[in-house]
Amino acid sequence: MKLRILSRKDVRRALPMHQAIEAMKGAFAQLSTGQADVPLRVALNVPRHNGVTLFMPAYLSADDQMAVKVVSVFNDNPAKGLPLIHALIVVVDATTGRPAAVIDGTYLTALRTGAASGAATDLLARRDVRSAAIFGAGTQGRTQLEAVCTVRPIQTAWIYDVMPERAAAYAAEMSQRLSLPVRVAETPGDAVRQAGVICTATISSTPVFEDADVRPGTHINAVGAYTPEMQEIPAETVLRAKVVIDHREASLAEAGDLLIPLQQGLMTEAHVCAELGEIVAGRKPGRASPEEITLFKSVGVAVQDVAAAGAVLEAARRLNLGAEVAL
C-alpha cells in the first residue's frame, strides 16, 4: 500500500485560491443540505502549555470524500518564533477505508479558512467594494486578504495588529504579493472606517474594533474567536448585522462572538439568519440591501478540510506532486 505525502509547497501548487473558494462553496452546500457527516470536533486541552489540539473528521457524501485533520493551536508559539497553528490531514479513500495521503495541514488550514471568507465575501459583500481591513498579521490574515482580493477588485487594504512590527512586515509582503497598497493602520478605527470588507483573524478575548466605526454596507468575516470565551466582534455590531455562519451546531457551541451576546440576553438564536451553505444552495437569501451590514462568523468545519484536501490530492495525482511511500 502506498501513501502520498504532500508538503506545504505541494499544496500551494495544487490548489490556487480561486479554486479553493469554489471548493468551499461546494463543501458548505453539502453541509447545509444533509450531504455531510460531521461529528463535533474533539478538543484536547493542554493548559500547561496554553494550547489545544483538535481532532476533526468528516465525510462528504456527494463527493464521496473523507478525511481527518489533527490541528494544534498553541497561543504561546508566536512569541517563540513558531506558527500559532500546526496541522496534519489524513485523506482516507472512502471506497475502501485505505489511507490515501498525508497532507501538510498548517498551510491548508489557512488556505481553506481564507477561502471560506472569500466565498462569504463573494456571496454577501457589495459588488462595489474597493477597500479591505485585516485584523491580525499572521498566516490567517494573509490568506484572508488574498481571498477577498480574489472575489472583489480591492484597490487599498489596511492591516492592524497589536504588534506594529508584525503589521509593517505584513504590509510590505502583501503589497508586493498582491500588487496593491497595503497600509498599516495606527488604530483599529483608522482601518474600519475606510473598509468595505473587514476580516478579523486574531486570538483576542475582547472586541478588536468599535461598533461605531463600522459603516453601513460593510461585510465582516470573523474567523477568530473559536472558543466560547473569545470575542473579536462587538456585540452591538452582531446585533445590527445579518449573521451568517458556517455550521449552526458548531457555531452555537464554540463561537464566543455569538455566545457572549446570547448569554447576556442581548439576542436569541433566531438572530442567526442562515448557514453559508444555505445561501450557496439558494435556500436562503444573501445581502438584502446596499446599506445592510453582513457578518460571516466561522469557527471552521471539517468539511472544509475534506474538500480542500480532496482537491489537492486530485491535482497532485495529475501533476505528480509529492512523494509516495510504501507502508
Q: Which of 195, 239, 249 is nearest to 220 (CA)?
A: 195
3 state DSSP class of 285: coil
Spatial CB neighbours of 262, under 8 Å, sequence gap ≥ 6 = 252, 268, 269
CB 17 within 8 A of CB 118: yes
Cell (9 digits) for 284: 436562503
Paired residues of 244 in beta bridges: 274, 296
DSSP string of 101-159, one letter each residue: EEEEHHHHHHHHHHHHHHHHHHHHS-TT--EEEEE--SHHHHHHHHHHHHHS---EEEE
Contact 94, 119 (CB under 8 A): no
Catalytic site residues? Answer: 69
Strand order in the sheet with 156-160: 182-184, 156-160, 131-135, 197-200, 219-222, 293-297, 241-245, 272-275
Q: Please give the Cα distance from 302 to 284 (Å, whole number).
A: 22
Take residue 20 and report the three cell numbers written for it: 479553493
